[in-house]
Amino acid sequence: MVAPPLSPHHEILFRRHTGNPILTAADWPYAANTVLNPGATKLADGTTVLLCRVEDRRGHSHLSVARSKDGVSDWEIDPEPTFAADIDRHPEEIWGLEDPRITFVEELGQYAVAYTSYSSGGPGVSLALTEDFRSFERLGVVMQPDDKDAALLPYRIGGRWAMIHRPITTRGAHIWISYSPDLRHWGDHRIMLEARAGAWWDARKIGLSPPLIETDRGWLMIYHGVRETCDASIYRLGLALFDRENPEQLIRRGDRWIFGPHEQYELVGDVGNVVFPCGYTIADDGDTLNLYYGAADSTIALATGSVQAMLGWLDRYGQLECVTRRAA
Ligand code: BMA
């Protein structure tokens, strides 16, 4: 399948790596159906860690670590699942673990991993802590089903931890923020960004993609918007900017998508027409952003952009928006 040519008049914010997809099930040291939607981080020694979702032929997923010095090649993949369902102690993981998002939390000296625990009641959000991506301490379910697309902010805001997530309510699939004194008890739930309606590219269903990016102008959010057509759902990415001290305060929201499925590996797979990033790393220049994404729910791909370019783009294509805040 080949997509029609793109207009040369759109601004390009992300360039795909020429070696895409950079990781596939064929690279895995054990049998896997697909590898997708990795969380990402860079360790203190510069190693890129991808916490990859690996789906087996039952349809259940677990998480496995791939490490690389340059974040592109020579991946060392754990020979067995790194972080898999523990159904006896955590029945909420009965149908697997999906879509991890990693935040380094300096106060704890640990990485927080927010992931989808696929329970028999639907997908919920679970949280785990790790120092080394070898052993994990589970904090259990922090947002009950139906909820996903979650990531923790790296430090307390006004004394409280903050987490972004995407519950589905009768009003639709919007992005929410919630607060906690201890990472276990969550409340003060507020809508942060709403899906638009009608013909918009991000109508009806949106969700956080990778964790928020801290910039000198605020928290930059890359979010996914889902366009439902009679043929398929198309997963594309957009941008929004939030106040640094008060992250539920929207500053600007882009009116058009910045990245969408176009290459064959994004169009064809278990679920075609999907680009789905759960993680990024930032290069030593403090600006170059390596975005790791699941392509067509089947493989892992990489695209590179610039944080400053995204902020500049938001100045041109972003609109100030008043969001009505509603309590849960
Ligand atoms: C979302 C999540 C992702 C998946 C995407 C596209 O709801 O389940 O894991 O990549 O749908 O199928």
* Domains along the sequence of the chain with CATH: 15-327 (2.115.10.20)
- Determine the distance separating the centroid of ligand 1 and the alpha carbon of 99, expressed in angstroms: 8
* Rounded CA separation 153/311 (Å): 20
Measured from the Cα of 271, ligand 1's closest atom is 12
Measured from the Cα of 274, ligand 1's closest atom is 6
Whole-model pTM: value is 0.96
pLDDT in tens, 223-248: 999 999 999 899 999 999 999 999 99
Render each residue's pLDDT in the chain as its tens digit; 328 residues: 788 899 999 999 999 999 999 999 999 999 999 999 999 999 999 999 999 999 999 999 999 999 999 999 999 999 999 999 999 999 999 999 999 999 999 999 999 999 999 999 999 999 999 999 999 999 999 999 999 999 999 999 999 999 999 999 888 899 999 999 999 999 999 999 999 999 999 998 999 999 999 999 999 999 999 999 999 899 999 999 999 999 999 999 999 999 999 999 999 999 999 999 999 999 999 999 999 999 999 999 999 999 999 999 999 999 876 443 333 2
Taking phi over 0 as left and psi of -120 to 50 as alpha, with beta for the rest, 140 belongs to: left
Measured from the Cα of 149, ligand 1's closest atom is 2
Question: Ligand 1 — pocket residues by CB below 6 A?
Answer: 37, 98-99, 235, 271, 274, 276, 294, 297
- Given a contact cutoff of 8 angstroms between Cβ atoms, the answer to whether 20 and 73 are in contact is no
- Determine the distance separating the centroid of ligand 1 and the alpha carbon of 286, expressed in angstroms: 30
Give per-residue burial for 89-99: e unless 16+ CB within 10 Å, then b.
ebebbebbbbb
Give per-residue burial for 196-208: e unless 16+ CB within 10 Å, then b.
beeebbbbbbbbb
- pLDDT, residue 320, reads 78
What distances in angstroms separate CA 270 from CA 36, 231, 267, 297, one per listed residue? 11, 15, 10, 6
- pLDDT, residue 170, reads 86
- State the average pLDDT for the chain: 96
Mutate to test the pocket of ligand 1, among 55, 97, 276, 278 (most ligand atoms within 8 A of CB): 276
pLDDT in tens, 87-145: 999 999 999 999 999 999 999 999 999 999 999 999 999 999 999 999 999 999 999 99
- Determine the distance separating the centroid of ligand 1 and the alpha carbon of 163, expressed in angstroms: 20
